[in-house]
């Protein structure tokens, strides 16, 4: 079990390239079940979550081979398996994205319900209602969704939930509709860049989809989808995390290989906090010359501030010269990082679905424990700014969604060391997901 030792106070400097997007790669890998030929993907990040999905696809008769330079080849070798087991789905909710593709391509799917999640109640009712509207019979037995349909048929489906549209719900329904008979219209569809990337991948397989990036997506079903070579978009959440790392350390970095348009709300908030931002071609340069200014952040569906950067912004404004507020409209309870940031000397209080952050002059290093992916990134950022040493335990949370963030930070001058930490409790909790062999 790894932990990260951080000696804080070093301003980050230099250039860093962003990896491919986790939240685009996962639904695209799952959608490869729909293809009748091989799929070659480029810019697939090397993450624990990607390995977990590859393992699940293997159980579903889909061979996944990793090549050099973030390449991946995916091909169905046996189209009979239809079960996605609890042991894998409980590890990673995005596994639920195999439901729509399995149902559409194989006519039947048995997929474990995802179960609990630390960031909030995360029902899948919209996914199931959408697939039922496409004509599938859906029942839940023994913790599994059992979905069946000889051939799905086009329908009108609205995917708006109490906290707005659903990202992976749009993914599941859009995938299923590609092979349905007739036209499907999804209203209140998610407009996240990752959903658009999935839609473009499906079109590269031969799907007939329009309206991507708007809240109304139209899909006209086709008989069959073919093969494809496709490159995954840049990870805007990783890019945002790296930019906030520079801001919190008073540094100057350039992030390369990003889609600048995907970052507008994030860059505006960073400018509000006092950073100087240079927007270039696929590149963003950030210069932080002073103590952050307080900002009021409200995480919202795209194009708003992503909920997946809310914790990192909280770490930044914990050092602001004044009071900030952080609200999350997507996951109103997503505040697991608060107690651990307060252990580093931050002054953060919860008031309902708002966190009030009274800025302090400095944070002081301590041992803290990560409890989910983005909260762990916030602790690493706070550790980069804190005086003396911070130890972030349970680093596996970070590795789920960041491709060697520690190495990227070290290349920017951060004083970080990854260390193995034997802790029986953690080992039992984690179990082991083998890394993918590079062929």
Question: In the bound complex, what is the minimum distance in angstroms from residue 10's beta carbon to ligand EPZ?
Answer: 26
The yes or no reply on residue 311 touching ligand EPZ (CB under 6 A) is: no
Q: Tell me how far apart the alpha carbons of residues 348 and 342 are, in angstroms, rounded to a whole number.
A: 7
Q: Which of residues 18-57 bind ligand EPZ (CB under 6 A)?
A: 22-23, 26
The number of C-alpha atoms within 13 Å of 355 and in the hemisphere containing its C-beta is 31
Q: Point out the catalytic residue in the list 3, 117, 160, 275.
A: 117
Q: Count the residues of the shown chain that bind ligand EPZ, applying the rule CB under 6 A.
A: 27
Applying CB under 6 A, which of residues 5, 105, 262, 374 lies at the interface with ligand EPZ?
Answer: 374
Contact 50, 29 (CB under 8 A): yes
Nearer to ligand EPZ, 247 or 336 (CB): 336
Q: Which of residues 380-409 bind ligand EPZ (CB under 6 A)?
A: 401
Q: Given the rule CB under 6 A, which of 2-10, 156-164, 214-222, 279-287 is the region that contacts ligand EPZ?
A: 156-164
Going from the C-alpha of 150 to that of each of 97, 109, 179, 384, the distances in angstroms are 20, 12, 11, 55
Any residues with CB less than 8 A from the CB of 331 and at least 6 apart, and which? 119, 120, 122, 163, 299, 307
Q: Can 117 be counted among the known catalytic residues? A: yes
Applying CB under 6 A, which of residues 197, 235, 308, 328 lies at the interface with ligand EPZ?
Answer: 308
The yes or no reply on residue 250 touching ligand EPZ (CB under 6 A) is: no
Q: Given the rule CB under 6 A, which of 76-84, 165-173, 197-205, 219-227 is the region that contacts ligand EPZ?
A: 165-173
Closest by CA to 49, choosing from 99, 106, 102, 96, is 96
β-bridge mates for residue 299, sequence order? 305, 328
The yes or no reply on residue 266 touching ligand EPZ (CB under 6 A) is: no
Nearer to ligand EPZ, 168 or 390 (CB): 168
Q: Given the rule CB under 6 A, which of 158-166, 261-269, 271-279, 335-343 is the region that contacts ligand EPZ?
A: 158-166
The yes or no reply on residue 168 touching ligand EPZ (CB under 6 A) is: yes
The yes or no reply on residue 261 touching ligand EPZ (CB under 6 A) is: no
Left if phi > 0, otherwise alpha if psi is -120 to 50, otherwise beta: which for 282?
left
Q: Given the rule CB under 6 A, which of 136-144, 164-172, 318-326, 336-344 is the region that contacts ligand EPZ?
A: 164-172
Q: Tell me how far apart the alpha carbons of residues 377 and 399 are, in angstroms, rounded to a whole number.
A: 10
Nearer to ligand EPZ, 302 or 359 (CB): 302
The yes or no reply on residue 296 touching ligand EPZ (CB under 6 A) is: no
Q: Tell me how far apart the alpha carbons of residues 399 and 393 are, in angstroms, rounded to a whole number.
A: 12
Q: Given the rule CB under 6 A, which of 157-165, 246-254, 347-355, 422-430 is the region that contacts ligand EPZ?
A: 157-165
Reading across the β-sheet that carries 228-231, which strands appear in turn? 62-66, 72-76, 39-42, 228-231
The yes or no reply on residue 88 touching ligand EPZ (CB under 6 A) is: no
CA 25 centroid distance within chain: 9
Question: In the bound complex, what is the minimum distance in angstroms from residue 113's beta carbon to ligand EPZ?
Answer: 11
Residues belonging to the active site: 117
Report the interface residues with ligand EPZ, using CB under 6 A. Answer: 22-23, 26, 93-94, 121-127, 161-163, 166-169, 194, 307-308, 330-331, 373-374, 401
């Amino acid at each position: 079990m790894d932990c990260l030792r951080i000696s804080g106070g070093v301003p980050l400097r230099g250039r860093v390239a962003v990896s491919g997007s986790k939240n685009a790669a996962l639904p695209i890998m799952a959608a490869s079940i729909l293809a009748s030929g091989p799929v070659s993907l480029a810019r697939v990040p090397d993450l624990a979550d990607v390995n977990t999905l590859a393992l699940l696809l293997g159980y579903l008769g889909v061979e996944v081979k990793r090549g050099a330079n973030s390449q991946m080849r995916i091909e169905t070798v046996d189209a009979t398996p239809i079960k996605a087991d609890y042991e894998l789905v409980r590890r990673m909710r995005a596994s639920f994205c195999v439901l729509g593709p399995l149902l559409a391509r194989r006519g039947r799917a048995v997929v474990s319900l995802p179960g609990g999640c630390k960031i909030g109640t995360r029902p899948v009712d919209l996914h199931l209602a959408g697939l039922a509207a496409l004509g599938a019979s859906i029942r839940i037995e023994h913790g599994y969704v059992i979905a069946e349909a000889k051939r799905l048929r086009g329908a009108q489906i609205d995917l708006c939930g109490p906290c707005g549209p659903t990202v992976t719900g749009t993914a599941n329904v859009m995938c299923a509709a590609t092979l349905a008979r007739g036209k499907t219209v999804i209203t209140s569809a998610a407009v996240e860049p990752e959903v658009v990337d999935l839609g473009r991948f499906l079109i590269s397989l031969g799907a007939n989809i329009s309206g991507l990036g708007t809240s109304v997506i139209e899909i006209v079903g086709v008989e069959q989808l073919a093969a494809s070579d496709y490159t995954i978009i840049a990870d805007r959440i990783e890019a945002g995390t790296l930019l906030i790392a520079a801001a919190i350390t008073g540094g100057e970095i350039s992030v390369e290989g990003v889609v600048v348009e995907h970052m507008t709300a994030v860059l505006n908030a960073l400018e509000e906090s006092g950073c100087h931002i240079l927007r270039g071609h696929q590149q963003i340069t950030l210069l932080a010359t002073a103590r952050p200014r307080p900002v009021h952040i409200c995480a919202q569906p795209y194009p708003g501030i992503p909920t997946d950067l809310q914790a990192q912004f909280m770490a930044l404004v914990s050092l602001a010269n004044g009071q900030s507020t952080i609200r999350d409209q997507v996951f109103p309870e997503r505040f697991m990082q608060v107690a651990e940031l307060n252990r580093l000397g931050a002054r953060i209080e919860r008031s309902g679905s708002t966190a009030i952050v009274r800025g302090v002059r400095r944070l002081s290093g301590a041992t803290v424990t990560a409890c989910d992916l983005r909260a762990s990134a916030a602790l690493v950022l706070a550790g980069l700014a804190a005086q003396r040493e911070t130890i972030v335990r349970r680093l596996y949370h970070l590795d789920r969604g960041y491709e060697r963030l520690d190495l990227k930070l070290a290349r920017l001058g951060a004083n970080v060391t990854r260390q193995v930490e034997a802790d029986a409790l953690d080992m039992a909790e984690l179990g082991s997901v083998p890394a993918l062999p590079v062929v």
